[in-house]
Structure 1
Amino acid sequence: MSTLPVLNNADMYHHYSDVQFRDGCSVIHEMLKPKRGESILDLGCGTGRLTMQLASLVGDSGRVVGVDPDSCRIAVANEQLKKMDDIPVTFQLGSIREALPLGPFDGIFSNYVFHWFERAERAEMMHQMYDSLKPGGRLTFVLETNQPQPNAIIRDIFRLTEPNLDEESASGMKMDVPSVWLQHCSDAGFLVELSEVFRTEKAGPNLDAILQFLKASIPNFQPIKLTDDGLHELDSRYKTGNGDEVAFSLTVLKVLARKPQES
């Protein structure tokens, strides 16, 4: 069964996930382009911020399902849902296997999720997503790649907190080059219509905000392991000069793929 890592600190994640939220909104509007009346799956929906964005686009005649394996995040999402007017959103605990019976969908959206999947699970995951889509349905996802970047604060944080581990072992993220992900899409039967690799520059209000987001996002991350010297090094390297703001970069892959129409 394909699984995502169960993460803690859901409220903290909801509060500190602005960077990923902005990227997700961009991909929704520029690549997935949900239409009114469509059914959309948000795979790895977290606390549901982007799920709500999807719901606003499909309207009352549409349907959005958000799935996530973290019960705490699903609880936060459902609490947020209670504050909204009646909107066509359902949150489901689980992953793609649990979402299969809820389809078929016109589109699947996933934001900064796939690099958490174990490599041995990815082929099955792609085939399950293919099976979850209607003919002509779209798959859109965003993920981090392992291509080098010059301003990688996360890499440096793990170098300081887990000096005896490589970045993948320390973070749990299984990042690969873009061609690996595009091949997974093709092997499952998808037609890749658009793929883009870009380095995105990000900023946080301060170093603590970045550390809190990592604590909420990454299993076993312990910012307490950062020494005063380590904190000073990070501040010196990544502060922008605009107060306590810190800036960093990620190398990201965005993909739009489509399930062929039935002949």
Structure 2
Amino acid sequence: MSPNTLESIKSYYNARAPGYDTETNFHPHQASDYLHWISPKPGMHILDLACGTGAITLPLKRAVGPTGRVVGADISDVSLEIARSKAEDEGLDIEWVECDISTIYAVPGIEEGSFDVVSCAAALVLLKDPGMAVREWARLLKPGGLLITGVLTGDTMVRGIVLDRVAEEEVMGLLRSAGLDGGESFLTESYAEPKYLDVEKAGEMFDALFEEAPVPRTWYADLVVPSRREKSKEIFEREMKKLAGPDGKLVEYVRFHMAIGRKV
């Protein structure tokens, strides 16, 4: 199952949605950072892409107030239902859109030049064509509006990267290709304690990934069917050793290359 198919992404996040708010400290920590970077003010219009269960969306609406507009978009209907329920409990008037965020521009009411900020937290890696998506999101900004997004660093979730050696795109390059002034880029702190990996135990890591981690079980299940498992493990061990330093060790983080581009 490819991680870049819409149905697999939707199914994966629908399954995680009920426990998403409490499954890790990573999500609230990252949400707090995004709120700081966005710096929402009364009356602003903000589009929160891949909004999930509303960790960023709800506080954005509290900040922009009744004169502001906040739209939360996500492909997971279960996540949106949870977010909608939380907003209703607080009496927050937020617009929720279930869609492929790559094509948000096709949703009625999402108009070119209508948002002060477009944000997308931790979802670029899921998109089939992130460059195209960023260009379309940039069109939705008002003059002077900000697009805020990021990509995982090369030392983040190393074991997952090895499972799927995908090409990486520089996030600043994406913003510039969309006609934005990529004026600010920075590296976030790690959202989890560093994990030290011993590549001599790569075979054990491979087995543990499919026993403990939801992403491999969902998106890479075909790698461990009986006819493929041993060959998959052999390739995994080889690729881990390629990434390791002379001491046979790797350090794994959870951090992002962030970029903020302004529409000129």
Structure 2-normalised TM-score? 0.68
Match of 1:71 among 74, 77, 80: 77
The answer for the alignment partner of 2:239 in structure 1 is none
In 1: Cα distance, 2:185 partner to 2:215 partner: 29
TM-score (norm 1): 0.68
Residues 219, 57 of structure 1: alpha-carbon distance in 2 compared, 3 angstrom cutoff:
farther
Q: Where in structure 2 are there 5+ consecutive unaligned residues?
A: 195-208, 225-250
Change (3 A) 1:218 1:189: farther
Q: Secondary structure at the match of 2:168?
A: coil
Shift of the 82–61 alpha-carbon distance from structure 1 to 2, 3 Å rule, reads: same
CA distance change for structure 1 residues 183 and 106 in 2, over 3 Å: closer, same or farther? same
Q: What residue is the counterpart of 1:188 in the other structure?
A: 178
- Show the counterpart of 2:53: 47
The 3 A distance-change label for structure 1 pair 253 and 203 is: same
SS at match of 2:66: coil
Q: Give 3-state SS (helix, strand or coil) of 1:83's partner.
A: helix
Rg larger for: 2
Superimposed CA distance per residue, residues 152-202 of structure 1 (whole angstroms, 9 cap, x where no aligned partner): 6x434x59xxxxxx3226xxxx5726xx22111101100012100245151
Tell whether the 8 Å contact from 1:59 to 1:88 is kept in structure 2 after alignment: no
Q: CA deviation at 1:81?
A: 1.8
Q: Distance in 1 between matches of 2:217 and 2:93?
A: 30
* CA distance in structure 2 between the partners assigned to 1:258 and 1:143 by the alignment: 18
Correspondences of 1:170-189 after superposition (within 5 Å): 176=168, 180-189=170-179
CA shift, 1:253, in A, is: 0.9
User: Structure 2 counterpart of 1:133, which letter?
Assistant: L
The match for 1:93 is 98
How many pairs are equivalent?
209
- Check if 1:255 corresponds to 2:254: no
SS of residue matched to 1:46: coil
Report Cα offsets for 1:90-147 as digits up to 9, x if no partner. 11101242355424111011111111112xx1222011101111111101113312x2
- The amino acid that maps onto 1:167 is L
Name the CA distance, whole Å, in 2 between partners of 1:41 and 1:14. Answer: 20
Relative distance call for 1:23 and 1:201 in structure 2 (3 A) is: closer
Which residues in structure 2 correspond to 1:81-160 (within 5 Å)?
81-84=87-90, 86-94=91-99, 95-99=101-105, 101-103=109-111, 104-118=114-128, 121-145=129-153, 147-148=154-155, 154-156=157-159
Q: Indicate conservation of the 8 Å contact 1:68/1:74, yes or no.
A: yes
The structural deviation recorded for 1:203 is: 4.5
- Per-residue Cα deviation, 1:192-220 (whole angstroms, up to 9, x for no partner): 1210024515149xxxxx99995279843
**Which whole-Å CA distance do the structure 2 matches of 1:23 and 1:110 have between them?**
12
Task: Report how far residue 15 of structure 1 moved.
Answer: 2.5
Looking at structure 1, the residues matched to 19 and 38 of structure 2 have their Cα atoms a distance apart, in angstroms, of 28
| Structure 1 runs not aligned, ≥5 long | 160-165, 205-209, 226-246
**2: distance between equivalents of 1:49 and 1:213?**
25
1:79–1:221 CA distance, 2 compared to 1 (3 A)? farther
Check conservation: 1:196, 1:255, Cα contact below 8 A.
yes
Q: Partner letter of residue 163 of structure 2?
A: E
